[in-house]
Structure 1
């Protein structure tokens, strides 16, 4: 997983990040700033996901939203 969302696209999808993972705070989303690895790490912490589970969820999210945006 080495995917990042460009700054312009990130602004468009960060609301979807909070919608998808409701436990994320505004600070969490600000820390991610489009970085897939940071998002996976936060999902591991907040949701108790394994690294593989978190990366899979982020990959699926990025794929969906990179196609939509």
Structure 2
């Protein structure tokens, strides 16, 4: 699964995102609209991760849920 597919199925995937990263609020998740860059930014904000770390965790998420 890639981010184009995730964006298309965002309503189904966002529950898994919330479960994976519980510090993200529903508003945070809704604001990303399934966009990988926006979600990466929210992860950086909430968890204090560097961009590379957030992107790596997102890629891992896609591999596990794909």
Q: Which bracket does the TM-score occupy, shorter chain normalised? A: 0.7 to 0.9
3-state SS of paired residue (1:6): helix
Name the counterpart of 2:26: 26
Residue 6 of structure 1 pairs with residue 7 of structure 2:
yes
CA distances 1:8-46 after superposition (whole Å, capped 9, x unpaired)? x11111001010000111100101111011111000010
Aligned length: 64
3-state SS of paired residue (1:43): helix
Name the counterpart of 2:16: 16
Runs of 4+ in 1 over 6 A off after TM superposition: none
Name the counterpart of 1:51: 51
State how far apart, in whole Å, the 1-side matches of 2:59 and 2:32 are: 14
Name the counterpart of 2:61: 61
* TM-score normalised by length of structure 2: 0.85
State how far apart, in whole Å, the 2-side matches of 1:10 and 1:63 are: 16
Q: Which runs of 5+ in 1 are unaligned?
A: none
